[in-house]
Chains A and B, each alone.
Chain A
């Protein structure tokens, strides 16, 4: 989705607050470093507020709205001064953009602040393309890749063509779409722990489609889904490597993939 309004009002060197996301922070810092590199290369001044932890989704999706609000207030305050808040995740940004305003709909103090943040919050590939107008990166990745559209990014934010447009500019990369690419991988946050059998069936179906695509590498824009699919691929002993799309776009995918070391 081209975001003309956002593009027009953009400062020359936008100050971007990076929302690291808890999964990138804990499991795969290289994703956040890749995001920083992409944003800085695109002319942004990137800062990482220390008072950030999580967007609150585990509480929100389990019906604990009171704790979600407490966490959301923390996020809103931490990112108040930035031109934009950007995260390498459609899921966390979906929460900030769509759910925060709803959570504070009746709150005269936090409601407007939540809305102000929501209007400036972007998923990484969407920010690079829709807001900054980027249509190419300088990177090389010699592999056939397939792309998993994570549900929140796809349906809450309309992220679908943005990563593909940028990937098309990566030299050596060939994209092979999988069947049912828009079907959930079975992660679903705490769903995969609360309903492990159903989740296992869903991720098994997904892994079958990944394999059938003939790709050597699976890419996606959300670490939750990627950890889930990588975990299943590794359990089955599949050779498919898994990276976050930011790592490939930033030319940082020479490191071991998710669930690999050497």
Chain B
């Protein structure tokens, strides 16, 4: 009887080994990590190298990607983030420019013209154009290349 029990325990241990804890087929899943309440949320020490910075209300989160002055020209490349919570943002073209959508989808209104845009879209603006941008379904990030005669 004792020997049978030894066999039985060994067999169970072997089965557990092959089907569970130590098998590469570990299909037990794992719980998602729950975010603690805001009051208990401890920030990490990681900081973005080039973070987007919040601007005045109604303007995008922005960061400068590149800036140069060459002869009579100023070249400014800025990244703009339009958050879904913002009810659209407005930007005034500081020079003639090309804007490209780097992430997300939404709509762009220049003057009276509105167009739907998604990642990969590019469009042109003239100096002084008022550009209204709305994101859809999530944040939208654009890269704006402005060229201005000093």
| A and B from one complex | no
